[in-house]
Structure 1
């Protein structure tokens, strides 16, 4: 995948999104999540492209807190990498996975460790024609022998 910002094109690694429903009564990232995000960004494993907190009330209405509004000072160093790529419709679609009365973190991240491979594919004239993700739960079920869950 190649992105251009009007300057030279840049190679991108695979980009994923996560919707993480938080424990009941929790409305922000846990310290463990914050620490791991900071570590993964610092060691250049991941680049955070979008980070939101989404609350779904009992009636199903959403309250979205943008990254800039978060009070967690530990994440302030991520500002430079955020590009806010999710439109309002995207957020509403992703939020459909959140149970009423719950809160979730929505994260879009790029795997920086794969950018050199992506560049090699492009430089060789090859084209990535399919990409996918196998849920970890499916792999774990297969390894346990739970065929009906895989």
Structure 2
């Protein structure tokens, strides 16, 4: 990210995916999709962290560089900037259930770079962005479906 000229920086997002005890089935599909997004130029991966919280609440944070076999993700490891700090880990871990594992991803939205650059050249600045959680959208759709009269 530091190699990107300031005028070309774009919005940065994060995603935390928690895997409850006994629910994780890492088949490699997530890694394949992540590599595809990077190779297509849709995103630039900034940081990835794996958090594990044991039954006693102790949290271990693992960086990509600390893993022995990254498989298809090996190509992404050298580009990571390591943006997450210890305070971030503590904050995220507080929300995790004991015995769970979480993957934390931070990425730059390369698809938005041309628009963000054009906005800056026009004198504007992106001062806020956000994300509507998919759970909120699903809840809204379900609420709308139950409040609609039958047959409409």
Under a length normalisation based on structure 2, what TM-score does the superposition of the two structures give?
0.83
1:111-147 deviations in Å (ceiling 9; x for gaps)? 1100111101101001223222111121222233359
Aligned residues: 145
Under a length normalisation based on structure 1, what TM-score does the superposition of the two structures give?
0.84
Shift of 1:79: 2.3
Greater CA radius of gyration, 1 or 2? Answer: 2
Gap change, CA 1:35 and 1:8, over 3 Å in 2: closer
Runs of 4 or more off by more than 6 Å in structure 1?
none
Gap change, CA 1:4 and 1:52, over 3 Å in 2: closer
**What is residue 149 of structure 2 aligned with on the other side?**
none
Q: Does the CA contact (< 8 Å) of 2:20 and 2:97 recur in 1?
A: no
Gaps of 5+ in 1: none
**What is residue 35 of structure 1 aligned with on the other side?**
32
- Paired with 1:52 and 1:91, the residues of 2 have a C-alpha distance of 9
Gaps of 5+ in 2: 146-152
SS at the partner of 2:83?
A: coil
Q: Does the CA contact (< 8 Å) of 2:51 and 2:61 recur in 1?
A: yes
